[in-house]
Amino acid sequence: MPPKERKIAFMGFRSVGKSSLIIQFVEKQFVDSYDPTIENTFTTQVRVNGQDYLLHSVDTAGQDEYSVIPQNYFININGYVLVYSVNSQKSFEVVKHVYDKIIDMKGRMTVPIVLVGNKKDLRFERVISEEEGRRLAESWKVPFLEASAKEHPSVKDVFETAINTMTLKENGDSNE
């Protein structure tokens, strides 16, 4: 089977680790300082459930609670990974704002979304519990994971979950 081409946008407040998650997945390394203003798209081929994907990960510069999200983040995007960091209450609020904007544009039934609480390695700085994250995701009826861009397996889970969520939606799940 030829690879399926898919595009996932990573969104959320600045400094939550969007770039770090993508770079950990694509390059299998943790980068400590990556220019926060760069908006890059990283392309990689992955195999999930026996299917090859040519995956484009769109790294956004980040949003805040007032952001108007540019049109190009809605066009030709197959799914979204919404990221907050477990050590930032603000980032948890921003992710709700971003969710509302995406739903306004795309509609709740159609858009594959995964919620990610990043920086779970920062145990002593945590202000958002895993339970809080899970409850938010449940209210949206989307998958939830905590991750650390320092830990490759947790990052791989994020990407595989995002791909599986897209596939489910594309195949018309009726769990809505």
Instruction: List residues near ligand GDP by CB under 6 A.
Output: 14-20, 32-34, 36, 62, 118-119, 121-122, 148-150
| 34/140 with CB nearer ligand GDP | 34
| 93/138 with CB nearer ligand GDP | 93
Q: Tokens standing for 36?
A: 């926060």
The nearest distance, CB 113 to ligand GDP, in angstroms, is 17
Give backbone dihedrals phi and psi of 136, rounded to 5 degrees, phi first. -60, -45
What is the spatial distance between Cα 169 and Cα 89, in angstroms, rounded to a whole number? 30
Please check whether residue 26 is in contact with residue 97, taking contact to mean a CB–CB distance below 8 angstroms.
no
- Work out what residue 118 binds among Mg ion, ligand GDP, none; the CB cut-off runs from 5 to 8 Å by kind: ligand GDP
Q: What is the DSSP letter of 120?
A: T
| 6/146 with CB nearer ligand GDP | 146
Query: Residues with Cβ < 8 Å from 15, sequence gap 6 or more?
Result: 36, 62, 85, 88, 91
Q: Does 87 bind Mg ion (CB under 5 A)?
A: no
Question: Residues interacting with Mg ion, by CB under 5 A?
Answer: 18-19, 36
